[in-house]
């Protein structure tokens, strides 16, 4: 079992303890009488699979309305050397989407992970001309996770002004490059820690927690037409992390910081998913602050201890159905995206079988649950034609607020 397998097992054990306390929220049940809306359905996509696997491409083109590059727009991919941007693969992916009438959700401009090594080793590798693989740190809970996330930058450090310039240049260069082609962006990914404060990252550490505000302002300046999102996991239900994110949004609103929406990643498991009423309640809280909401990365792991005789696929369909019906019921929810297309290619491993299509591209019960939550999708004539042609051809430590935080080590300068 790989590292992720071990982590997922830990997750399963944690989820088991949740069984005793059902994840129910406010009592008002969501109504079956809700009008069905045609909410666009998205999928996280890998360019290599689009190129190599006809069934992958056909399934995506047939069943999905929009595409989120799974890794292709992350900083490690786009700025492998300091100041040198490489848009070759990203352009291919974005142009593929546009050719087929699919929207692109840009993911993600500023995140503490999937960074190029030169950023986390303070430029040493870049100066030596090394092109090393990006650092993708595993997400571990608690102090160990925090230590790992900060450890990468512990030996060196950035000056605040230097790292700020790097962040602004990255945002401006990427957003201008895709302006008119990518209409919405996760500007800041995963800014929250489990305790409701700022999550550790190179950005938070050396710029300070106001990096969120500065990133959003830079994004609005770079492409005034783009919709700007903060994207987060583990905030779908009640808890300190959700309250912390709401507090951040209120802080940003009070300071007139541009922000259009919140992405709820919705990585879930059959033993620990939220019911529809809870999810609706969360979505409405963001909507009440004037924000759009999207489900941005849903998957539902199905690994189980063998002793539990549960119908995994039925439970998975329940989890997906609850999220999709919540999204349908809240007018501010504008997109429903799963973190992948097929169980064959999921970031948490095929064994979790977490997606809507199985490894042989057959639709699962979860697929029907999602589809029945929304009105039938409007066929896009151009996309449909293209699709047929394709088939034919292919056969801190310190707790602090969200302003600049003097108590925090925010760089040397």
Residue carrying structure tokens 């490489």: 86
Residue carrying structure tokens 């040198």: 84
Tell me whether residue 232 is one of the annotated catalytic residues. no
* Cβ at position 328, least distance to ligand XIL in Å: 23
Q: Which two tokens stand for residue 37?
A: 């809306």
* Cβ at position 389, least distance to ligand XIL in Å: 29
Residue nearest to ligand XIL (CB): 347
Nearer to ligand XIL, 352 or 410 (CB): 352
Q: Which two tokens stand for residue 78?
A: 């786009």
Nearer to ligand XIL, 67 or 405 (CB): 67
* Torsion angles phi and psi, residue 345, rounded to 5: -130, 75
Work out whether the CA dihedral 192, 194, 195, 200 comes out positive or negative.
negative
If one counts every other C-beta atom within 10 angstroms of the C-beta of residue 255, the result is: 12
* Cβ at position 94, least distance to ligand XIL in Å: 17
Nearer to ligand XIL, 106 or 244 (CB): 106
- Confirm if 109 and 187 have CB atoms less than 8 A apart: yes
Nearer to ligand XIL, 4 or 390 (CB): 4
* Cβ at position 71, least distance to ligand XIL in Å: 5
As a whole number of angstroms, the distance between CA 354 and CA 271 comes to 13
As a whole number of angstroms, the distance between CA 49 and CA 233 comes to 25
- Confirm if 212 and 228 have CB atoms less than 8 A apart: no
Nearer to ligand XIL, 157 or 354 (CB): 354
* Cβ at position 151, least distance to ligand XIL in Å: 18
Render 338-359 in DSSP notation, one character per residue. ES-SBGGG-TT-GGG--SSB-T
Q: Which residues lie near ligand XIL (CB under 6 A)?
A: 70-71, 114, 136, 189, 265, 297, 347
**Helices 211-222 and 160-178: crossing angle, nearest 10°?**
30
Q: Which two tokens stand for residue 286?
A: 């963001």
- Confirm if 336 and 321 have CB atoms less than 8 A apart: no
* Cβ at position 369, least distance to ligand XIL in Å: 22
53 three-state secondary structure: coil
- Confirm if 325 and 34 have CB atoms less than 8 A apart: yes
Tell me whether residue 190 is one of the annotated catalytic residues. yes
As a whole number of angstroms, the distance between CA 154 and CA 141 comes to 19
Which of 70, 292, 297, 318 is catalytic? The answer is: 297
C-alpha distances out from residue 4 to 11, 189, 271, 283, 345, Å: 10, 21, 17, 29, 14
Nearer to ligand XIL, 197 or 354 (CB): 354
Render 158-219 in DSSP notation, one character per residue. --HHHHHHHHHHHHHHHHHHHTTT--EEEEEE--B-TTSSBPP-HHHHHT-TTHHHHHHHHH
* Cβ at position 310, least distance to ligand XIL in Å: 25
Which of 190, 232, 292, 318 is catalytic? The answer is: 190
Q: Which two tokens stand for residue 87?
A: 């848009």
Q: Which two tokens stand for residue 127?
A: 């100066």
* Cβ at position 339, least distance to ligand XIL in Å: 6
Active centre residues (catalytic): 190, 297
């Amino acid at each position: 079992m790989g590292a992720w397998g071990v982590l997922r097992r830990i997750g399963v054990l944690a989820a088991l303890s949740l069984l005793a306390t059902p994840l129910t929220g406010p009592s008002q049940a969501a109504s079956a009488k809700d009008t069905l809306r045609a909410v666009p359905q998205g999928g996280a996509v890998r360019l290599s699979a689009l190129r190599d696997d006809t069934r992958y491409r056909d399934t995506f083109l047939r069943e999905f309305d929009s595409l989120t590059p799974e890794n292709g727009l992350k900083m490690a991919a786009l700025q492998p050397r300091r100041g040198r941007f490489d848009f070759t693969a990203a352009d291919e992916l974005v142009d593929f989407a546009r050719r087929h009438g699919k929207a692109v959700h840009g993911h993600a401009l500023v995140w503490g992970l999937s960074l190029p090594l030169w950023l986390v080793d303070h430029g040493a590798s870049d100066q030596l001309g090394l092109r090393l693989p990006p650092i993708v740190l595993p997400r571990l809970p608690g102090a160990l996770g925090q230590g790992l996330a900060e450890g990468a930058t512990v030996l060196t450090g950035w000056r605040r002004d230097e790292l700020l310039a790097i962040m602004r240049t990255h945002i401006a260069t990427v957003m201008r490059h895709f302006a008119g082609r990518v209409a919405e962006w996760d500007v800041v990914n995963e800014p929250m820690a489990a305790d409701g404060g700022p999550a550790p990252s190179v950005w938070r550490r050396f710029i300070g927690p106001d990096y969120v505000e500065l990133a959003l302002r830079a994004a609005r300046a770079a492409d005034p037409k783009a919709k700007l999102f903060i994207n987060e996991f583990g905030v779908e239900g009640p808890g300190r992390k959700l309250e912390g994110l709401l507090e951040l949004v209120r802080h940003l609103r009070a300071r007139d910081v541009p922000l259009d929406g919140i992405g709820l990643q919705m990585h879930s498991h059959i033993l620990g998913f939220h019911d529809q009423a809870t999810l609706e309640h969360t979505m409405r809280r963001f909507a009440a602050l004037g924000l759009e909401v999207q489900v941005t990365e849903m998957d539902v792991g199905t690994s189980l201890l063998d002793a539990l005789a549960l119908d995994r696929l039925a439970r998975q369909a329940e989890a997906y159905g609850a999220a999709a019906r919540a999204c349908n019921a809240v007018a501010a929810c504008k997109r429903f995206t799963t973190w992948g297309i097929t169980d064959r290619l999921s970031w948490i491993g095929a064994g979790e079988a977490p997606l809507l299509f199985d490894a042989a591209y057959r639709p699962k019960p979860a697929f029907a649950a999602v589809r029945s939550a929304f009105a039938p999708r409007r066929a896009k004539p151009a996309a449909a034609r293209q699709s047929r042609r394709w088939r034919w051809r292919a056969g801190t430590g310190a707790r602090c607020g969200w302003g600049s935080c003097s108590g925090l080590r925010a760089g040397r300068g």
